[in-house]
Amino acid sequence: MRRSMALLALAGASFTTQAGEVYGGIGLPGLMLGYAHAYSPSLTARVDVATLGSQDYSTTRDGVAYSGSIKAHRAGVFGDWFVFSGGFRLTGGVTFNTLSAAVAAVGAGKVLQLGDANTSYTLTADDRLDLAIRFPKTTPYIGIGYGHHSGKGLGFVWDIGASIGKPKVTATGSGTALSVAQAQTDIAAEAAKIQKDLDKVSIIPQVTLGISYRF
* pLDDT given for residue 171 in this prediction: 93
Residue 6 located in a structural domain: no
Residue 12 located in a structural domain: no
| 139: CATH | 2.40.160.170
Residue 10 located in a structural domain: no
* pLDDT given for residue 6 in this prediction: 42
Cα distances from 75 to residues 50, 97, 123, 133, 150, in angstroms, run 6, 7, 41, 19, 24
Classify each residue of 40-66 as buried b or exposed e, where b means 16 or more C-beta atoms within 10 Å of its C-beta. eeeebebebebbbeeeeeeeeeeebeb
| Count of domains forming the chain | 1
Q: Which domain holds residue 86?
A: 21-214
* pLDDT given for residue 61 in this prediction: 67
Q: Please measure the distance between the N-terminal and C-terminal CA atoms of the chain and give it in whole angstroms.
A: 33
Residue 33 located in a structural domain: yes
Q: What is the per-residue pLDDT across 76-101, written as a single tens digit (0 to 9) for each?
A: 999 999 998 889 999 999 999 999 99
Residue 62 located in a structural domain: yes
Give the separation between CA 136 and CA 138, rounded to whole angstroms. Answer: 6
Would you place residue 203 in the very low, low, confident or very high pLDDT band (cuts 50, 70, 90)? Answer: very high
Residue 42 located in a structural domain: yes
Residue 49 located in a structural domain: yes
Position 152 pLDDT exceeds 70: yes
- If 0-12 CB within 10 Å is exposed, 13-18 middle and 19+ buried, where does residue 96 land? middle
Q: Is the dihedral of CA 122, 130, 162, 24 positive or negative?
A: positive
Cis peptide before 29 (omega within 30 of 0): yes
Residue 203 located in a structural domain: yes
Give the separation between CA 133 and CA 102, rounded to whole angstroms. Answer: 6
Q: What is the per-residue pLDDT across 4-44, written as a single tens digit (0 to 9) for each?
A: 334 334 334 444 446 799 999 999 999 999 999 999 889 99
Q: Which of 104, 99, 69 is nearest to 175 (CA)?
A: 104
* pLDDT given for residue 12 in this prediction: 42
